[in-house]
C-alpha cells in the first residue's frame, strides 16, 4: 500500500493533480482508512463519478464492502471543504451577479445527490446570502412546504430568495409539478414582499433557470 501511495503522490506532484484517474483520486483520499485500492474501484462502479461518491450519504457509502466510519468521515470532510470553498467565493459578490458561482455551488451541494433535494437561499437587500434551508425527498420528488419557507424567510429578514432543486435522473427540463409549485411559491412571496428571483434545476452537468426561460 505504501508503494502504491508513493506512486500516486509522485504522479500528483508531477502533474499538479491532473494525472490521476477518478478511482485513483478516491483511492489516494482514502488510503489511510481502507485496506486496499479495490474499495475505490467499487465506489466508482457503484456511483459512476467522483462527484457522486463525494455526495453519497452515510448508508450508501457503508453498503460498500471495505468502507468504514473513518473512510466515510474522510469523504464527508472533503465534501464539506468543497462546499465551504465555493460558499466563500459566492459570498464575495451579490448572488444575482454571480450565477456561475451559484451554479458551481449547487452542483456540489445538491446536484449530485441520489434523491431530490430542495434548497432555498435567502438574500438580504444587498443580494447577499443570509440563510439556507434544505429539504430532502425521494429519488423523483422533493417536498416543498411554502408555509415553512415563508416563515423562515420572515424570521431571517430576507428580502429575496432563490430556490433550487436537483433532478437525479439527469434531465433538467421542469415538470408540470415544478412549474405549479414555483407559481404557488411566487404568489406567497409576493404577498410577503419577498422577491422570488429564480428557480434553478440542476444536474451534474447542466442547469435550467426559470428566469432565463421566462417561466418566472
At residue 91, the pLDDT reads 76
pLDDT for residue 94: 81
3 state SS of 169: coil
CATH number given to 2-83: 1.10.150
- Percentage with pLDDT > 70 across the chain: 96
Query: Which residues are bridge partners to 162 per DSSP?
Result: 121, 198
User: Which tens digit of pLDDT belongs to each residue from 93-122?
Assistant: 788 788 888 999 998 889 988 888 899 999
Task: Say yes or no: do domains 2-83 and 99-209 share a fold.
Answer: no
Share of the chain above pLDDT 90, in %: 49
Q: In whole angstroms, what is the distance from residue 67 CA to residue 71 CA?
A: 6
Q: With a threshold of 0.75, does the pTM exceed it?
A: yes
CATH number of the structural domain 99-209? 3.40.140.10
Sheet holding 129-136, edge to edge: 129-136, 117-123, 160-166, 195-202, 207-209
Cell of 131: 440563510
Q: Which grid coordinates are listed for 82? A: 468543497
Domain definitions of the chain by residue range: 2-83, 99-209
Amino acid at each position: 500500500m505504501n508503494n502504491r501511495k508513493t506512486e500516486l503522490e509522485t504522479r500528483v506532484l508531477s502533474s499538479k493533480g491532473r494525472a490521476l484517474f477518478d478511482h485513483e483520486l478516491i483511492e489516494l483520499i482514502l488510503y489511510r482508512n481502507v485496506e486496499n485500492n479495490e474499495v475505490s474501484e467499487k465506489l466508482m462502479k457503484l456511483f459512476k463519478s467522483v462527484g457522486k461518491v463525494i455526495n453519497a450519504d452515510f448508508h450508501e457509502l457503508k453498503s460498500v464492502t471495505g468502507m468504514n466510519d473513518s473512510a466515510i468521515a474522510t469523504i464527508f470532510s472533503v465534501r464539506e471543504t468543497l462546499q465551504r470553498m465555493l460558499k466563500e467565493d459566492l459570498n464575495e459578490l451579490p448572488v444575482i451577479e454571480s450565477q456561475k458561482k451559484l451554479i458551481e455551488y449547487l452542483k456540489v451541494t445538491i446536484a449530485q445527490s441520489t434523491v431530490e433535494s430542495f434548497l432555498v437561499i435567502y438574500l438580504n437587500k444587498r443580494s447577499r446570502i443570509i440563510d439556507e434551508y434544505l429539504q430532502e425527498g425521494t429519488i423523483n420528488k422533493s417536498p416543498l412546504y411554502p408555509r415553512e419557507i415563508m416563515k423562515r424567510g420572515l424570521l431571517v429578514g430576507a428580502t429575496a430568495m432563490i430556490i433550487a432543486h436537483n433532478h437525479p435522473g439527469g434531465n433538467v427540463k421542469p415538470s408540470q409539478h415544478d412549474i405549479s409549485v414555483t407559481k404557488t411559491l411566487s404568489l406567497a412571496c409576493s404577498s410577503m414582499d419577498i422577491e422570488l428571483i429564480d428557480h434553478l434545476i440542476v444536474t451534474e452537468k447542466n442547469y435550467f433557470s426559470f428566469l432565463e426561460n421566462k417561466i418566472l
